[in-house]
């Protein structure tokens, strides 16, 4: 797995305006996750997919677009379960909407226009994982001010000046989403946007310094979440994989 968020163009990829690459083949988010994490993704909503009967009530009154993305991302999750040697199971929203995974599994799901993904791992291989996909476009007016600390806004402005082809405000938002998705299964507590200070490095990594007490892993407090990102194919992708404690 390459740590470079802007991979050297190879067969199946071409460079688009502004230096951002347009995806011509699948296989994206796995490049920013450790090998212990199983990834299944889709760039379309294939016809003929069905939900587990237990999932039907969740989207019974939803608009077609919501039903399609809900169905596809859960199809991805069941494919990932199969790759872990586990039977298909319903993936229902749990506390605060977080996916309720089968026992012995940690995971995360994400979807945005043109992309759906589910990532899973065995408990013991990874303590927690969070992923997020966003369109590679600036945040709407006022959103950055609502989600970012003053220091984060200053760093985002510096990144924008140095690397204007990347929507760093959207990337910061996505990183905060991934951090929350990795945080919640470990704590079962809400994490506000202002409770983690994220520093993004242009080389493809970010670190989220917790401003509130962190979870205990292996008897030690986790004070920082480390993540990776990728900007490709009109998407911003971020991932946080918390290593399982030794032993």
Which tens digits make up the pLDDT trace of 43-56?
Answer: 999 999 999 999 99
Domains of the chain: 13-243 (3.90.470.20)
Q: Which tens digits make up the pLDDT trace of 74-106?
A: 999 999 999 999 999 999 999 888 999 999 999
| Averaged pLDDT for residues 166-184 | 99
Mean pLDDT, the chain, whole residue set: 90
> At residue 5, does pLDDT exceed 90?
no
Q: How far apart are CA 190 and CA 192, in angstroms?
A: 6
Among 29, 204, 202, smallest CA distance to 111 is for 29
Q: How far apart are CA 60 and CA 130, in angstroms?
A: 27
| DSSP H stretches of helix in 7-142 | 64-83
Q: What angle do CA 226, 202, 143 make, to 5 degrees?
A: 80
Among 170, 180, 36, smallest CA distance to 108 is for 180
| Averaged pLDDT for residues 156-167 | 98
Q: How far apart are CA 35 and CA 1, in angstroms?
A: 8
Q: Which tens digits make up the pLDDT trace of 202-239?
A: 999 999 999 999 999 999 999 999 999 999 999 999 99
pLDDT tier at 23 (50, 70, 90 boundaries)? Answer: very low
| Residue 26 confidence (pLDDT) | 54
CA 84 to each of CA 13, 36, 55, 240: distance values in angstroms, whole numbers, following the listed order: 30, 10, 21, 20
What is the share, in percent, of the chain residues with pLDDT greater than 70? 89
Prediction pTM value: 0.89
SS (HEC) of 77-105: HHHHHHHCCCCCCCCEECHHHCEECCCCE
CA 24 to each of CA 36, 112, 137, 232: distance values in angstroms, whole numbers, following the listed order: 26, 18, 19, 10
CA 94 to each of CA 83, 90, 181: distance values in angstroms, whole numbers, following the listed order: 23, 12, 13
């Amino acid at each position: 797995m390459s740590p470079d968020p802007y991979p050297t163009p190879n067969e199946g990829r071409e460079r688009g305006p502004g230096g951002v690459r347009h995806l011509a083949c699948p296989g994206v988010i796995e490049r920013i996750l450790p090998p212990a994490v199983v990834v299944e993704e889709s760039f379309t909503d294939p016809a003929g997919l069905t939900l587990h009967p237990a999932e039907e009530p969740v989207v019974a009154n939803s608009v077609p677009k919501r039903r399609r993305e809900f169905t596809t991302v859960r199809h991805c999750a069941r494919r990932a379960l199969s790759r872990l040697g586990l039977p298909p199971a319903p993936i229902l929203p749990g506390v605060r909407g977080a996916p309720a995974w089968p026992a012995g599994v940690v995971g995360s799901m994400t979807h945005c226009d043109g992309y759906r993904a589910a990532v899973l791992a065995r408990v013991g291989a990874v303590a927690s994982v969070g992923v997020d996909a966003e369109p590679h476009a600036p945040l709407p007016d006022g959103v950055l001010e609502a989600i970012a600390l003053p220091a984060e806004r200053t760093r985002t402005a510096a990144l924008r000046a140095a690397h204007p082809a990347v929507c760093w405000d959207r990337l910061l938002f996505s990183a905060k989403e991934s951090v929350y998705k990795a945080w919640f299964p470990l704590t079962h507590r809400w994490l506000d946007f202002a409770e983690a200070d994220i520093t993004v490095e242009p080389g493809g990594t970010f670190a989220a310094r917790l401003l509130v007490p962190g979870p205990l892993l292996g008897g030690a407090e986790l004070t920082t979440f480390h993540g990776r990102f990728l900007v490709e194919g009109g998407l911003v992708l971020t991932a946080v994989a918390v290593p399982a404690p030794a032993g």
